[in-house]
Amino acid sequence: MSKDKEVDLRDRQGRNWIYSDTVKEHFFHPRNLFAPGEEENYQADGVGYVGSPACGDMMKLWIKIDPQTEKIIDCKWQTFGCASAIASTSMLSVMVTENNGLTITQALELRAQDILERLGGLPNIKVHCSVLGDKALRAAINDYFKNTKQHGRIIIEGAKIVDKVLKVTDKDIEEAVLDGADTLEKVQAKTKVGTGDPSCLPEVEQLIKFYRDKYYN
């Protein structure tokens, strides 16, 4: 296939199906990837987890933030998914740390379209992979806000707030269960849910049962 023909089959909006050279590069040589087990000694300021084993692609993102400048100074990740998912997360990790890092405010403005642009486009049936990447980033930043007790800065997207004091959502409960927390005590250890608003605990227990049945039956 000629180079001109390849360009015809792919564009930056992902309407076509040929992988760009940039996507191939980040798939075969991913940046900032954690090898299995390496994350155990990594002192992250925030961790974001999106996706599920039930529907395919999953992403987990670790970030370190300079408390003085609020810049993301390091970003590591693991992804279970296709070439597009791997390339998208690899590119995202580069985008948030290059040139001394994005500030939290800048990182929260990052969208899937920005990742697509840097990748040179994705096949349209794979665009959801870049969407998972920016969601994982925002989840990691929210986790940083929780860890630093900046609950007023937490951004809620398409989720129901369960603990109204700590702003723990049903999505947080879902992610905790997916990460192996199958009891109220284990979910509380991960999310602190109920320590701010104990009245929510009956709902939390129902959510744990729902997600446990949904994913592990």
Domain locations in the chain as residue ranges: 3-150, 161-216
112-134 mean pLDDT: 75
Q: Specify the DSSP element, H or E, that contains 209.
A: helix 201-216
pTM of the model: 0.67
If one looks up domain 161-216 in CATH, what number appears? Answer: 1.10.10.1100
pLDDT tens digits along 61-92 = 999 999 999 999 999 998 887 778 888 899 99
The C-alpha atoms of residue 81 and residue 58 are separated, in whole angstroms, by: 6
Please list the active-site residues: 55, 129
Give the pLDDT confidence score for residue 152 in this predicted structure: 85
User: 77 by DSSP, 3-state: which?
Assistant: strand
- The DSSP code sequence of 149-206 is T-GGGPPP-S--EEETTTTEEHHHHHHHHHTT--SHHHHHHHH-TTSS-GGGHHHHHH
Nearest CA among 42, 67, 122 for reference residue 90: 122
Q: If pLDDT is split at 50, 70 and 90, which confidence band does 50 have? A: confident
Contacts of 143 (CB under 8 A, 6+ apart): 46, 47, 48
Per-residue pLDDT band at 56 (split at 50, 70, 90): low
Q: Which CATH class is domain 3-150?
A: alpha beta
Q: What are phi and psi of 64, to 5 degrees?
A: -115, 135
Contact at 8 Å (CB) between 136 and 47?
Answer: no
Higher model confidence: residue 51 or residue 154?
154
- Confidence at residue 148, expressed as pLDDT on a 0 to 100 scale: 94
Point out which residues pair with 62 in neighbouring strands.
Answer: 47, 76
3-state secondary structure of 49: strand
Sort 141 into a burial class: Cβ within 10 Å, 0-12 / 13-18 / 19+: buried
Give the number of other CB atoms < 10 A from CB of residue 155. 12
Q: How many CB atoms neighbour CB 212 within 10 A?
A: 15
pLDDT tens, position by position, 160-217 = 889 988 888 888 898 888 778 889 999 999 999 998 889 999 999 999 998 888 776 6
**CB atoms near residue 18 (< 10 Å):** 16
* Top-confidence range, 33-37, 39-43, 184-188: 184-188
Q: How far is CA 118 from CA 20, 35, 60, 108, 175, in A?
A: 10, 24, 21, 17, 29
pLDDT > 80? residue 18: no
